[in-house]
Amino acid sequence: MTAFPDRRLRRLRTTAAHRRLFAEHDLTPRRLILPVFVKEGIAQAQPIASMPGVEQHPLDGLADVVDEAARAGIGGIMLFGVPAVRDAVGSGATSPDGILNRAITVARDAAQGRLTVQADLCLDEFTDHGHCGVLDDRGRVDNDATLAVYGRMAVAQARAGADVLGLSGMMDGQVVAVRHALDEAGHTDVVLLAYAAKYASAFYGPFRDAVESTLDGDRRTYQLDPANGREGLREADTDVAEGADIVMVKPAGPYLDVLARVADASPVPVWAYQVSGEYALIEHAAAAGLIDRDRAIGETLVGIRRAGADAILTYWAVEVAQRLARGEDLT
């Protein structure tokens, strides 16, 4: 007598229609957020060599970028500024005339409520030493002095029209400091996205090209040790207690275990950032003929969703949204 399998799990995979119906997780454009680099003083978009397909945009071209993103149906854009001049205290971050604050206003006007305008709230793009805060007289990042600057930066971004502020500096107390500054200035409706579990990662390299980072040294005294998972959960818990509306895990791919643990415990939405190095690995491997580019993009994004991300920052946001609109199977 022939022995038959007790369970035939392949039934649910029989056809593409079966697989689509029974998929446990999927992607939708509204769950995708596009990081956008805006550079001061350029007249046309400039390609970023380490990130094929990604560009630094001039302020005059930003409205078109926002319009394309809005028409694709994605959830938002995250703006990063690349200033022409930097100084020790990141003055361009708090000035209403700084490139990032001007970009926020342009993006807000172009978006017309069709997507959320988000802004990076950190000093690394604006300081001549490249750190995420101001330095003390011994050259160390001064946590509490930095919080005061973050408060002024938050108010400037809110006045410029940002819907969401991405607190990415990893300073202790940054969420409560920014929330107090915003409330005192009357900006009680601005959403705070806390980069809660942001790791000191090697995967940020291409991003530093994109923002023309001047970093001297590293950020290991304030970003998380890659060996620590529980610490990421503790950071997220702390940010929620301080009033964060959303918490972030960054990078995404190497830290899916942390993402899953944060998502299981968090009472607020959890996002993940598929960072520049993750993007570049796929693009360069695909260009070398080593992997199927389109499937690899879809597989990594679905994996991030499966780990628990409610939304994903990814440089493929518009492309993937357009593929979804065409009914393509991403994986």
By annotation, the residues acting in catalysis are 198, 250
Q: The tokens 């702390």 sit on which residue? A: 238
Tokens of 92: 């361009």
Whose CA is closest to 259, among 195, 323, 203, 205? Answer: 195
Distances (CA, A) of 6 to 3, 9, 60, 256, 299: 9, 10, 64, 33, 30
The answer to whether 278 and 252 have CB atoms below 8 angstroms apart is yes
Please give the single-letter amino acid code of residue 187: H
**H/E/C letters for each residue in the chain?**
CCCCCCCCHHHHHCCHHHHHHHCCCCCCHHHEEEEEEEECCCCCCEECCCCCCCEEEEHHHHHHHHHHHHHHCCCEEEEEEECCCCECCCHHHHCCCCHHHHHHHHHHHHHCCCCEEEEEECCCCCECCCCCCCECCCCCECHHHHHHHHHHHHHHHHHHCCCEEEECCCCCCHHHHHHHHHHHCCCCCCEEEEEEEEECCHHHHHHHHHCCCCCCCCCCCCCECCCCCHHHHHHHHHHHHHCCCEEEEECCHHHHHHHHHHHHHCCCCEEEECCHHHHHHHHHHHHCCCCCHHHHHHHHHHHHHHHCCCEEECCCHHHHHHHHHCCCCCC
